[in-house]
Amino acid sequence: MALVTRLGRIVGEHNVFSSREERVCYAYDGTFHFHMPDVVVKPQNAEQIAQILKLANDSNTPVFPRGAGTGLSGGSLPVHGGIAMVLTGMDSILEIDAGNQVAVVEPGVVTGRLHAAVAEQELFYPPDPASLDVCTIGGNIAECAGGPRGVKYGVTRDYVLGLELVTPTGDLIKTGGKTIKNVTGYDLTRLMVGSEGTLGIVTKALLRLIPLPGTIKTVLAVFDDLLQASDAILAVFKSGVIPATMEIMDAEAIKCVVEHAGARLPRDADAVLLIEVDGCPAAVEEEVNAVAEACLQHRARSVETASTPEERNRLWQARRAVSPALVKLKPTKISEDATVPRAQVPAMIRRLQQIREKYDLNLVIFGHAGDGNLHPNIIADERDAGEMARVEQAVGEIFQAALELGGTLSGEHGIGTMKTPYMQAEFGTQGLAYMRRIKKSLDPNNILNPGKIFSE
Amino acid sequence: MALVTRLGRIVGEHNVFSSREERVCYAYDGTFHFHMPDVVVKPQNAEQIAQILKLANDSNTPVFPRGAGTGLSGGSLPVHGGIAMVLTGMDSILEIDAGNQVAVVEPGVVTGRLHAAVAEQELFYPPDPASLDVCTIGGNIAECAGGPRGVKYGVTRDYVLGLELVTPTGDLIKTGGKTIKNVTGYDLTRLMVGSEGTLGIVTKALLRLIPLPGTIKTVLAVFDDLLQASDAILAVFKSGVIPATMEIMDAEAIKCVVEHAGARLPRDADAVLLIEVDGCPAAVEEEVNAVAEACLQHRARSVETASTPEERNRLWQARRAVSPALVKLKPTKISEDATVPRAQVPAMIRRLQQIREKYDLNLVIFGHAGDGNLHPNIIADERDAGEMARVEQAVGEIFQAALELGGTLSGEHGIGTMKTPYMQAEFGTQGLAYMRRIKKSLDPNNILNPGKIFSE
C-alpha cells in the first residue's frame, strides 16, 4: 500500500498533502535552503504521531517534524524527502495552573499567544525569541530558543518542567512533571530540549511560569566608543543588577537604522546600549539608577530613561528596526549566533570588526550583549558568487573566534544543517561520539530528523 | 597482574587502599546500608580516572565513584564490591571568574567552602543541601542536590553551565561552557546532572554564580490549623513574592523540637512556617510585608519578623533542631523526599497523616513546602522487625501518594539503590526502556555505578 494511503488511514485523508503545490509550502524554513518532502502529514494527537513513527520505521522513511518553520539553522528542513510532519494543528493551551504556576500546552501553540494567555493571570513565560508572534512552543523546545530576556530569565530549557513525547520508535512516554525539584532518573526533559527533533517528538509540554514583573524601565545609552560601552556592560553586572535585557548595536548597525529606517539616533555614535530592568517598583527605581550611573561612569554621551509603554517603545524603535533596515542594503541576510562569555564581548567585537575588514563584507553587529549572544549579520547577495565565497570564509572565522574566546557555535538558533561542519571543532571526536551513541541507541533506524546536528 | 598493583601504577601505591580497615571507611553512605568495596582508589586528576576506567572495562570490574558519602539514597554504595573511587582528593577551586560570574571547580570541593569563597567577591552559589559543610560539588552534581533555597533559586542543575568528564569507557570530554546560552548539540551537561554517576565521572565543573543578595529577612508564622498554613503558602506566591526559602513544620515536628531540643515554640501549635525573602533592600521591605499579610489573612496566631543575623538565627533554631531532636526518639531515621506540585502540599500532608495513623509510626512532617519537597521522616528502630515491616509499607504508600498527586519519587535525594523498585510506577516500561538504552549505549559493559537508578 502506498505511504500516502497508509498515512491517510492514520490521520484522515484531509490531513495528508502530496501535491507539489502543497509540499512546496513545507520545503523551506528561516534559512535560504529548500528541500521538498515526499509527503506532508498533519497529526492531531500523540497516538497518531506514534502510529506514524511506527509506520516510518517499518518502511524506513525519514520523518521531519516542524512547527512554524521560523528556524534559522535548518532544523526542520526535510533534507532527505520523506515525511514532513507539521505540528501546528496541535495548538491547545490545555491548562494554566495558577496555583502551581505551570502551563500545559500542545507543541503547536504560538509563543506569543501563550505570553498573552498567562499574562491575563498575572503570570509570565519569559522566553522571547524574535519570531514569537509566529513560532511555536514545540519548535522553541526543539531548538531551546532564547531571546533578549535570556540574560536575566534564562532560556527555554529553564522553563520546561516536563514533557509527553513520542520516541523515535513510536512509544509514548512522559518525563518530569509539575514540580521544580525532580531528580527521578535521567533528566530526559532537558535532554529533549535543544535536541532539534532528533530524539523524540514533543506532544505536550509542562512549562514553568513566574509572577509577571510589576514594573519595567528602559535605559538607552549612547557611546562614542564601543569599548566604553563594553566596559559599561560589565559595570552594570558588577553593581549587582541583573538587567532583564541588555542589547547592543555597533556603529554599522546605528548607521543602517538611521539611513534606512529613520531611527532617531546620532549617526556618528560608536555604540548604543538598550537596557531594561524589571521587578517590584522600589527595586526597579534603585536598579535603573545604578544602570544609568554605570553608563555615565563609562563616558556615555547621553542616557535616556523611559517608564511608560509609549516611551519604552520609542527607545526600542531603533533596535527593532535593525533587521528590516538591513535587508534594504542587500537581499541575503545571514544571521549568526555564536556566543561568548560575557566578559569576552569586547574581544569578540574586535574580532568581528577584523573579519569585516578582511573579507570586505557588510557585517553588522547587534544582539544580546548581556549574555554574550551577539548576532553578527552579514548582508550579501546570493547571486554574487564571489561575495558568497567570502561570506562562507567569514562565517568559519566567526565560529573559530567564538571557540577561541571560550564560547560556543550557537547560543539560541541551534546547529540544524548549517553548523554541522563545525561541531568537531567544539566537541572533538570523542565528544561527538558520545552524542552519536545516544542518538543511535534511541533511534536505531535513524528515522527522526536525520541530517541535523551531526554531519552525514 | 593483580588489580591493586595495576591501580597503584596509575595513581601511586599511596592512593590505593586494600586493607579491611581502610575499605570499611568507604562501605557506607547516608543510608543504613553497608557494602564493602574490593579496593579503594583516590585519583588525583582526570587522566588517572580515564586510565582507571579503561582498566575497569578491560577487567570487567565495576567502579563506584563517591564524594563525601552523605547521599541519602545509596547512590555511592559499592553494591557489587569492585572499585570505590574517592574523588575528595581533587578539591581545587580552579577559578572564580567574577567578570563572567562563573566558578571552575574540581569535584571534591566542599559545597560550603565554595559558598564562602564566592561570597568574598559578593557572589552567590545558591544550592544549599543540608549537608553543605561536608558534601562535595561532584556529589551534588551526581544527585542534582537541592535545599531550602530551591523554591526561589532552583537546584544544582540550574547552576551547572559546563563539565569536563570521563566517560564510562574512559574518554575525556567537555560539555557546555561559560555561556548561559548554549544550544550546540545535545545538552550533555544536564543529562549528566542527576545521572548519579552512571554516565560519566565529573572531573571539572563550570558553575554559574549570581550576585549575592543584599538583604535577607525572615518571617516565622505560627498557625492553629495546618490547612490555614497551607493556604498561606499559596497566598504568598499569589501576591507575586517568590520567597528565598519557605519551610514548614507540622504539629509532631513542633512537639518534638519543644520536648527534645527546648525550642521556643508554642507546643499546641498545628503548624509553623519559616519564610525568608532576599534581594535589594527596598524590594525585601515590600515583600516581607506581603508575606506577613498573607499569613495573617490566613489566621496565623503570631507573625515574627527578623532582619539581623542574630534574630534570624533565633527563628531558624527550631527548624534546624528537627533532625537532631528526631534521633532522640528512636535510632533509625528514614528521610524521604517524595515531591508534589506546590498546590498539592495540603493534600500530601493529609495523606501523610493518614499513613502515620494507619501504620502507627512516628512520622514527622517538615521540609521545603514552597516547592512541594516535603521531608516526611519516619523514626523507628531497625532492631524491631515488626516496626520495620510497617515502615516499608508506609514508604511505598508515601511514593504512591506523591505519584497520585502529580508528584515524583525524589525531589533532591536521587533514586540510588533505595527507590529503584518504584521507578516503574513513575515511568512505565517504555519510559524506563528509553533511559536504559541511554545507559547501555554509553556504558556497554555496565562498569560505572551499576545497581543504581535501575533495578537489576
**Are residues A277 and A284 in contact, defined by beta-carbon separation less than 8 angstroms?**
yes
How confident is residue A119, by pLDDT bands cut at 50, 70 and 90?
A: very high
Cβ-Cβ contacts under 8 Å for A116 (sequence gap 6 or more): none
Give ranges for CATH 3.30.465.10 in chain B: 93-211
- In Å, what is the CA distance from B361 to each residue of A298, A309, B269, B422? 65, 59, 21, 22
- What's the mean pLDDT in B173-180? 96
Give the chain B residue nearest A169 (alpha carbons).
Answer: B434
**Mean pLDDT lowest among A319-328, B160-169, B266-275, B371-380:** A319-328
Binary contact (A435, B188; C-beta < 8 A):
yes
CA-based R_g, chain A, Å: 22
Question: Taking 90 as the threshold, does the pLDDT of residue A9 lie above it?
Answer: yes
Chain B neighbors of A173, CB-CB under 8 A: 427-428, 430-431, 434
pLDDT of A82 > 90? The answer is: yes
| Complex ipTM value | 0.96
Task: Say whether pLDDT at B22 is over 90.
Answer: yes
Residue of A nearest to B153 (CA): A180
What pLDDT is stored for residue A280 in this prediction?
84
Q: Is the pLDDT of residue A1 over 80?
A: no
Q: How far is A182 from chain B (nearest CA, A)?
A: 4
Question: Is a pLDDT exceeding 80 seen at residue A37?
Answer: yes
User: Which is nearest to A188 in space by CA: A170, A200, A171?
Assistant: A200
A213-324: which CATH topology?
Alpha-Beta Plaits (3.30.70)
Cβ–Cβ < 8 Å for B239, B263: no
Average pLDDT over residues A13-17: 98
pLDDT tens, B66-116?
A: 999 999 999 999 999 999 999 999 999 999 999 999 999 999 999 999 999
- Quick one: pLDDT at residue B112? 98
* pLDDT value of position A10: 98
Helix (H, G, I), strand (E, B) or coil at B108: coil
Mean per-residue pLDDT, B383-395:
96
Instruction: Out of B182, B282, B339, name the one closest to residue A179 (CB).
Output: B339
Cα-only R_g, chain B: 22
Instruction: Count CB pairs under 8 A between chains A and B.
Output: 284
Picking from B96, B104, B186 by the largest number of A CB atoms within 10 A of its own CB, the best residue to mutate is B186
For residue A422, the distance in angstroms to the closest alpha carbon of chain B comes to: 10
How sure is the predictor about B176, in pLDDT bands with cuts at 50, 70 and 90?
very high
Interface of B with A in 8-47 (CB under 8 A): none
Measured distance CA(B51)–CA(A29) in Å, rounded: 46
Read off the pLDDT of each residue in A310-321 and give the average, rounded to a whole number. 89
Q: Regarding the domain delimited by B329-414, which CATH topology (the fold level of the hierarchy) does it fall under?
A: Alpha-Beta Plaits (3.30.70)
CB B209 within 8 A of CB A217: no
pLDDT of residue A270: 95
**pLDDT > 90? residue A146:** yes
User: Left if phi > 0, otherwise alpha if psi is -120 to 50, otherwise beta: which for B367?
Assistant: left
Yes or no: is domain B213-326 CATH 3.40.50.1450?
A: no
User: Can you tell me the distance from the alpha carbon of A222 to that of A302, in angstroms, rounded to the nearest whole number?
Assistant: 5
How far is residue B373's CA from residue B361's CA, in Å, rounded to a whole number? 21
Residues of A in contact with B345 (CB under 8 A): none
Of chain B residues 268-327, which have a CB less than 8 A from chain A? 279-280, 282-283, 285-287
Q: Which helix (H) or strand (E) holds B104?
A: strand B102-105
Residues 44-73 of B with CB under 8 A from A: none
What is d(CA A265, CA A254) in angstroms, rounded to the nearest whole number?
7
CB nearest to A286's CB, from B191, B241, B282: B282
Is residue B200 a contact partner of residue B449, using CB atoms and an 8 Å limit? Answer: no
The pLDDT, as a whole number, for residue A323 is 85
According to the per-residue pLDDT averaged within each range, which of A328-342, A387-401, B271-285 is highest? A387-401
Residue A252 CA: distances (Å) to CA of A261, A389, B57, B84, B172: 13, 22, 57, 59, 42
Give me the mean pLDDT over the B231-257 stretch.
Answer: 93
Looking at residue A318, its pLDDT comes to 87
Q: What is the CATH number assigned to the segment(s) A330-414?
A: 3.30.70.2740
Where is pLDDT greater, at B27 or A214? B27
Residue-averaged pLDDT of chain A: 95
* The predicted structure's pLDDT at residue B281: 86
User: Cβ contact (<8 Å) for B183 and A210?
Assistant: no
Our CA-based measurement puts residue B395 at a distance from the nearest CA of chain A, in whole angstroms, of: 16
Q: Please, which residues 383-402 of chain A have a Cβ atom closer than 8 Å to chain B?
A: none
Q: Answer yes or no: are the C-beta atoms of A337 and A399 closer than 8 Å.
A: no
Tens-digit pLDDT profile for residues A294-310:
999 999 999 999 989 99
Q: Is B452 in contact with B74 (CB distance < 8 Å)?
A: yes
Q: What DSSP state is assigned to residue A175?
A: E
CA A21 to chain B, closest CA, distance in angstroms equals: 34
CATH number attached to the domain at B93-211: 3.30.465.10
Q: Is the pLDDT of residue A134 over 90?
A: yes
Residue A65: per-residue pLDDT:
98
pLDDT at site A281: 86
Indicate where chain A has its CATH 3.30.70.2190 domain(s): 213-324
In chain B, which segments carry CATH 3.30.70.2190?
213-326
pLDDT recorded at residue A267: 92
Cross-chain Cβ contact A187/B186 below 8 Å: no
Helix (H, G, I), strand (E, B) or coil at B54: helix
CA–CA dist A226, A349 (Å, integer): 9
Question: Residue A142: closest CA among chain B residues belongs to which residue?
Answer: B183
Interface of B with A in 87-146 (CB under 8 A): 97-102, 122, 143-144, 146
CATH 3.30.43.10 domain range(s) in chain A: 3-86
CA distances from B26 to A97, B80, B129 (A): 46, 13, 21
Residue limits of CATH 3.30.70.2740 in chain A: 330-414
- Structure confidence at residue B283 (pLDDT): 86
Do B48 and B17 touch, CB atoms closer than 8 A?
no
Across the range A392-408, mean pLDDT stands at 97
Helix (H) or strand (E) holding B103: strand B102-105
Q: In CATH, what number does A3-86 get?
A: 3.30.43.10
Kindly tell me if the per-residue pLDDT of A275 is higher than 90: yes
Q: What band does B32 get if pLDDT is binned at 50, 70 and 90? A: confident
Nearest by CB to residue B411, choosing from A181, A406, A430, is A181
Return the pLDDT at A320: 87
**Residue B363 pLDDT > 80:** yes
Listed in order, strand segments (DSSP E) in A72-147 are: 83-86, 93-97, 102-105, 123-124
d(C-alpha A303, C-alpha B407), whole Å = 49
Q: Which among A451, A447, A449 is positioned nearest to A59, based on CA atoms? A: A447
Instruction: Report yes or no: A198 and A143 within 8 Å, Cβ to Cβ.
Output: no
Q: Mean pLDDT of all residues in chain B?
A: 95
Contact yes or no for A368 and B238 at CB 8 A: no
Residue corresponding to grid cell 514508604: B395
